[in-house]
DNA sequence: ACAGGTTGTTGACCTCTGGTCGATAAGCTA
DNA sequence: TAGCTTATCGACCAGAGGTCAACAACCTGT
């Protein structure tokens, strides 16, 4: 029997890809590692060789999705902070609309209160918060500022989910709404936007 | 052997109570129905008699928590809409700070992308949206209005989570921030607040 | 007080799941 | 082509979710 051997990195990537296609469509406890292995044309033992537990596998898949999201929404280096925000949001919404299952999986996903899993989505939000803080030139935001920006990110996520669910609003309008909201939040929390 | 029999409603309530204490502390796949049954001093078969599947059990526990949250944050009937909003938020934050594990479980909880589970948290948000729409005298909000209010609810949730996590902001300040944000969102989306 | 029926409750059982481990064989190197 | 490294697998295990027929509390009528 001819068994094809792949380089570990390749196999790992393939398994993650299979994982993604499953995780974005079915609940965590609704499929078995056996099924994942079958779908990947691989033994279950190999799957567990690459990912020690099911939760690790789940976490790895989510992490990859988060990495992709961050890469695709990277800010434009040369632009002003307002332009960065607008362009970032446009890319964000583009990603959301073209990868909605993965997006939903990351945000709403998770296995109950597993801190490791929750930490992945949280890391994503933190990364976005860092980007914003950097763009604004803030090092250690005051509590009110942090809560405000954090709340704004929650607003972006909720609005995005509603947006892709209903699909009855132009992307540009939503971007405008969110940019305006951000500007307002920044003013309200007493954060001084940097001079262009 | 003396086995005590309870009325179905009582037993069910007891099981839900046990479920809550577990769900708020451990991930969904991190405990067994056997353990739940043991903790409740009951056979696993009985547990499955009351709740046909583990997910049903999970859903029932979350639903109860949502019901409690809605009951404890019920709006003040006689007040103006602005007062209602402020009082509602105060009660909401009181609930959040005193039941943070349950709150986190409902919002961040869920079993991957299980629509039934996700629908419970979504139902909670919908109920809050309905309250707000009613208070504003809106029947069928326009898309932009719906997205805006939905985004605001996401803001409330994210800010609340950050608030209880860090605990470095006065409740009154957060309420003020959220009320101001709401007023602003309402104006922006072109919703006319009702005459007192 | 007791017989009888209703039904809350259980122990035993089954299948499948997550996870482990020693053995195998594919492919590179000399 | 021999030999070594290691990616891969088959077989196994404990425990999970879930089922079912049987049991025994409690209520009712006499």
Q: What is the predicted pLDDT for the residue at A134?
A: 81
Which positions in strand C are less than 7 Å from the protein's CB atoms? 7-12, 16-22, 25-27
Q: What is the predicted pLDDT for the residue at B7?
A: 96
Q: How far is A37 from chain B (nearest CA, A)?
A: 19
Query: Which residues, including other chains, have CB under 8 Å from residue A43's CB and lie 6 or more apart?
Result: A37
Query: Which residues, including other chains, have CB under 8 Å from residue A189's CB and lie 6 or more apart?
Result: A142, A144, A145, A147, A148, A149, B177
The nucleotide closest to B8 (CA, C1' atoms)? C8
The residue count for chain B: 196
- Tens of pLDDT, residues B140-186: 778 888 899 999 999 999 999 999 999 999 999 999 999 999 998 88
Do B113 and A105 touch, CB atoms closer than 8 A?
yes
DSSP string over A20-55? HHHHTTS-GGGS-HHHHHHHHTS-HHHHHHHSSSHH
CA distances from A118 to A24, A150, B37, B63, B111 (A): 16, 16, 27, 21, 12
List the single protein residue with the shortest CA to C1' distance from D12.
A45
| Interatomic CA distance for residues A23 and A109, integer angstroms | 9
Q: Which residues pair with A111 in a beta bridge?
A: B111
Query: Which residues, including other chains, have CB under 8 Å from residue B37's CB and lie 6 or more apart?
Result: B43, B44, B46, B47
Q: How far is A81 from chain B (nearest CA, A)?
A: 22
DSSP string over B3-45? -----HHHHHHHHHHHHHHHHTTS-GGGS-HHHHHHHHTS-HH
Q: What is the predicted pLDDT for the residue at A191?
A: 66
Closest chain B residue by Cα to residue A31: B112
Residues from chain A that touch B93, judged by Cβ atoms under 8 A, are none
Q: How confident is the model at residue B192 (pLDDT cuts 50, 70, 90)?
A: low
Place of tokens 């609810």: B153
DSSP string over A101-134? HHHHHHHH--BTT-HHHHHHHHHHHHHHHHHHHH
Do A13 and A51 touch, CB atoms closer than 8 A?
no
Give me the residues near strand C, CB below 7 A. A 1-5, 31-35, 44-45, 48-49, 52-55; B 3-8, 11, 42-46, 49
Is the model's pLDDT at A194 over the cut of 80? no
3-state class (DSSP) for residue B181 = helix
| Interatomic CA distance for residues A134 and B80, integer angstroms | 41
Q: How confident is the model at residue A113 (pLDDT cuts 50, 70, 90)?
A: confident
Do A34 and A44 touch, CB atoms closer than 8 A?
yes
Task: Report the 10 Å Cβ neighbour count for A8.
Answer: 10
Contact A24 B113 (CB under 8 A): yes
- pTM given for the model: 0.90
Which positions in strand D are less than 7 Å from the protein's CB atoms? 6-11, 15-21, 24-26
Q: How confident is the model at residue B1 (pLDDT cuts 50, 70, 90)?
A: low
Q: Which residues pair with B111 in a beta bridge?
A: A111
Residue B36 CA, nucleotide D17 C1', distance (Å):
13
Q: How far is B176 from chain A (nearest CA, A)?
A: 11
| pLDDT mean over A42-58 | 97
Query: Which residues, including other chains, have CB under 8 Å from residue A132's CB and lie 6 or more apart?
Result: A85, A149
Is the model's pLDDT at B194 over the cut of 60? no
Closest chain A residue by Cα to residue B189: A177
| Interatomic CA distance for residues A36 and B15, integer angstroms | 34
Q: How confident is the model at residue B89 (pLDDT cuts 50, 70, 90)?
A: very high
- Tens of pLDDT, residues B16-68: 999 999 988 888 989 999 999 999 999 999 999 999 999 999 999 999 999 99
Q: What is the predicted pLDDT for the residue at A1?
A: 58
3-state class (DSSP) for residue B111 = strand
Do B76 and B83 touch, CB atoms closer than 8 A?
yes
Is the model's pLDDT at B90 over the cut of 50? yes
Q: Which of the residues A89, A112, A116, A120 would you substitute to probe the B interface, choosing the one with the greatest number of B C-beta atoms within 10 Å?
A: A112
B96: Cα within 13 Å, side-chain hemisphere: 22
| Interatomic CA distance for residues B61 and B55, integer angstroms | 10
At B101, phi and psi to the nearest 5?
-60, -45
- Tens of pLDDT, residues A137-149: 777 778 888 899 9
| pLDDT mean over B84-110 | 87
At A92, phi and psi to the nearest 5?
-60, -50
Q: Which of B26, B114, B144 sits opposite A27 (nearest CB)?
A: B114
Region of poorest pLDDT, from A185-194, B52-61, B97-106: A185-194
The sign of the dihedral angle between the CA atoms of A174, A118, B159, B131 is positive
């Amino acid at each position: 029997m001819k068994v094809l051997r792949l380089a570990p990195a390749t196999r790992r990537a393939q398994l993650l890809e299979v994982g993604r296609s499953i995780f974005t469509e079915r609940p965590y406890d609704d499929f078995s590692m056996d099924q994942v292995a079958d779908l990947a044309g691989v033994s279950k033992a190999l799957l567990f060789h690459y990912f020690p537990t099911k939760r690790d596998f789940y976490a790895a898949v989510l992490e990859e999705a988060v990495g992709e999201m961050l890469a695709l929404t990277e800010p434009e280096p040369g632009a002003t902070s307002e332009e960065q925000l607008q362009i970032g949001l446009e890319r964000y919404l583009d990603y959301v609309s073209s990868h909605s299952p993965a997006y939903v999986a990351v945000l709403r996903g998770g296995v109950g209160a597993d801190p490791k899993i929750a930490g992945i989505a949280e890391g994503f939000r933190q990364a976005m918060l860092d980007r914003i803080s950097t763009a604004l030139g803030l090092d250690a935001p005051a509590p009110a500022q942090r809560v405000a920006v954090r709340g704004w990110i929650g607003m972006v996520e909720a609005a995005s989910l509603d947006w892709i669910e209903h699909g009855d609003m132009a992307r540009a309008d939503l971007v405008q709404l969110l940019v305006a909201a951000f500007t307002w939040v920044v003013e309200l929390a007493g954060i001084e936007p940097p001079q262009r």
